[in-house]
Amino acid sequence: MSAMSIGQPLPRVDGRAKVTGAARYAAEFDQPDQAYAVIVTSTVGLGRVTGIDTEEAARLPGVIAIISHQNAPRLPYREHKGFIDPASGERLHVLQDEQVRFFGQPVAVAVAETLDQAEHAALAVRVAYEARTPATRIESAETVAPSEADSARGDADAALLQAPVRIDATYGIARENHNPMEPHATVAAWDGDRLTLWSKSQFVVNEQAEIAAVFGLPAENVRVVCPFIGGAFGTALRVWPHVTLAALAARQVGRPVKLVLTRRQMFYTTGHRPRTAQRIALGADRDGRLSALIHEGTGETSRYERFVEALTTVAPYLYSCPNVRTRYRLAPLDSSTPTFMRGPGEASGIFALECALDELAVELGIDPIELRRRNEPAIDEGENRPFSSRSLVACYEAGAARFGWERRDPRPGSMRDGRMLVGWGTATATYPVFRAPASARARLMPDGTAEVETAASDMGPGTYTSMTQVAADALGLSPSQVRFQLGRSDFPPTPPHGGSMTMASVGSAIHAACLAVLDQAIERTTSDDRSALRGVPAGSVEVRDGRLSLRDDRARSQSYAEIVALGDGRPIEAEASSAAGDERQRFSMHAFGAVFVEVAVDPDLGMVRVRRAVGAYGAGRIVNPRLAHSQCIGGMVGGIGMALMEQTALDARDGRPVNASMADYLVPVNLDIGTLDALFVEEHDPHVNPLGVKGLGEIALVGMAPAIANAVFHATGRRVRDLPIRIENLL
């Protein structure tokens, strides 16, 4: 074999394109004769539009059209069950009726020759409403049960009552918005009844299917292009109303239309981490062995769709416990629909669970790592299956050593640095290993290089690079000889670029496509009379350095270029699909990690700073350690935001997000972060997928918030159970 590329810290193959500006993002795909669209959003949180006065707006310079429910065509909105569409509910049908379901809902769109003119026109549209007060608090909403909302083994409530030691507490997490650097944007262009969308998307084939359904078109009439994404964290997994509006506006005015959301609009209709309220009850003996675990949680959703996430799914498998009960409810509010946000569900659920574990450790006077070790299960007791691999204890050991945990004085408030209170906290991270059907195409070119294509996205983890490594190894080429393309709906289909499943799913498909093209090359070179390898059994051919050669006599060999030339010089091409087998029925498959955090708390001002953090992860094979490290510390930054800063605050009178700007919605900046480190424990998992990977994107945020909250407790003796932890909680 050639020198393996997998496992090497290859720099990003698209790094140069990104830093030179050559990488094009959705809003940069300007089209000839393009017009600009700006959305007019509702200024009430519930009710109906009683009138739209467009007279002044329509007279402004450069205005081409003002489109509202009064003059928009009725769209077919064919039924469409996307991969991650809410299990039940209906899509928001934009500009189809006068109903206002949430603050910031699109009620009109202004189209003009320039962006400034479109913005001006949007401001001049006068909308009259009949308004009611929206329901915006999960505490006062009537909840509904999603399917498979509850689980139980043993009798957790009875066991809790009998337990010698009990923790029973409630936890709250604020609504958060993803706030990636790149705003959502779509450039839409029609050619007859064919539509091209240059659009920010983590799932281009779903956007294709969704928009085809909205407009009643065959899917092949819609093409979605998204080669680069400037961060997404889940907000671009599904299709939001602005994509429909861009396509609708382009069709109305008969020209290509560009629509870019403002930062404020990013808080209205592009999803958010749902606000949650949770209860954890733990029962244990004096040695810390769990006898009861109850996890109840409620998350917000919209009235028109049910958004379900994995809020309470970790409790049944994370620790050994004979009596476990979970309960999950949704609170429908007069709000837009939430969506997955980095570490979705697990990150929120584990905040409650891992804080409660820390509370139990304090109550018992047991080191928090030792407490987890005492409850380490031999199998997944929820599914009653073995783990495909589980390195939680190894993660705690490796992370503790790197962090220096043995120097921790367990007494709260006991560690100081000058006048600063110092706290050390830890928590478990975990995330399931997902894999969904995916396809890819590979092509050997006349010059001996390869092209590989798949519809996947790259929102930042380095998909371009890691997939190049997978293809290079499968074909015996160096990464520089592979040209990998993604982000087009006319490439072979892939699952959503989310749920940490891209490498497991798409990587496996690319591996399969490359082996299929290799088979063709071997077939050609062993059956052609002109070949040095004619008549050789396929099994005795090996691939290295862009050549096929006889294993026992390397002198007999042919290069890919020569093999392509044997067949008239036409590229050798193969497409392959790859899907999971029955491994999920046989094994419980999850990545695990242990997170360690040091905070400094100003005792007078209540300000918290994360000085350093260490995450140790058992995530299967690491395809590229440089990207993996970057991926993990990026997730940690998100976790710092979740723990200490991020919250979308709604005005109870009208549901308005009052801090819908980057000045008011706080995210961590360099000075908030300190030193972050990630390490990976060696893990060989033959069961998860052919590449042995578990995925990293989501787990990197999971566990960070409870580790910080536990560190804040250690520093101050204050147990804050509501995120974000604010100054006023510590004064």
Residues in contact with ligand MOS by CB under 6 A are 202, 233-234, 237, 340-342, 344, 498-499, 698
Residue with smaller CB distance to ligand MOS, 493 or 495: 495
Residue with smaller CB distance to ligand MOS, 344 or 425: 344
Residue with smaller CB distance to ligand MOS, 249 or 459: 459
Element spanning 400, H or E:
helix 392-403
Kindly state the smallest distance separating residue 309's Cβ from ligand MOS, in Å: 9
CB within 8 Å of 340: residues ≥ 6 apart: 84, 234, 237, 271, 309, 498, 499
Q: Report the distance separating Cα 191 and Cα 372, nearest Å.
A: 60
Kindly state the smallest distance separating residue 494's Cβ from ligand MOS, in Å: 13
What backbone phi and psi angles, to 5 degrees, belong to 350?
-75, -20
Q: Report the distance separating Cα 587 and Cα 659, nearest Å.
A: 45
Q: Report the distance separating Cα 727 and Cα 328, nearest Å.
A: 31
Residue 546's CB is within 10 A of a number of other CB atoms, namely 19
Residue with smaller CB distance to ligand MOS, 333 or 696: 696
Residue 136 CA neighbour count, 13 Å, CB half:
22
Residue with smaller CB distance to ligand MOS, 288 or 344: 344
SS3 of 699-725: the string is: CCCCCHHHHHHHHHHHHHCCCCCEECC
Residue with smaller CB distance to ligand MOS, 198 or 340: 340
Strands 438-444 and 420-432, sheet pairing: unpaired
Of 300, 573, 698, 728, which one is the catalytic site residue? 698
Q: Report the distance separating Cα 112 and Cα 98, nearest Å.
A: 24
CA nearest 590: which of 468, 703, 478, 495?
Answer: 703
User: What's the Rg (C-alpha) of the chain?
Assistant: 27
User: Which tokens in the block code for residue 235?
Assistant: 């907000």
Kindly state the smallest distance separating residue 153's Cβ from ligand MOS, in Å: 28
Amino acid present at 358: D
Q: Report the distance separating Cα 13 and Cα 478, nearest Å.
A: 12
User: Angle CA(426)–CA(427)–CA(432) in degrees, nearest 5?
Assistant: 150
Contact 397, 593 (CB under 8 A): no
Residue with smaller CB distance to ligand MOS, 493 or 499: 499
Residue with smaller CB distance to ligand MOS, 75 or 688: 688
Residues forming beta bridges with residue 680, ordered by sequence position: 617
Kindly state the smallest distance separating residue 700's Cβ from ligand MOS, in Å: 11
Kindly state the smallest distance separating residue 688's Cβ from ligand MOS, in Å: 18
Residue with smaller CB distance to ligand MOS, 234 or 639: 234
SS percent in the chain: helix, strand, coil, step 5: 30, 25, 45
**Which DSSP letter does residue 518 get?**
H
User: Angle CA(157)–CA(159)–CA(164) in degrees, nearest 5?
Assistant: 125
300 belongs to the catalytic site: no
Q: Omega before 724 cis (within 30°)?
A: yes
Q: Report the distance separating Cα 284 and Cα 425, nearest Å.
A: 21
Strands 541-544 and 547-550, sheet pairing: antiparallel
Kindly state the smallest distance separating residue 640's Cβ from ligand MOS, in Å: 17
Q: Report the distance separating Cα 555 and Cα 182, nearest Å.
A: 53
CA nearest 382: which of 297, 310, 331?
Answer: 310
Residue nearest ligand MOS, CB atom distance: 498
As annotated, the active-site residues are 698
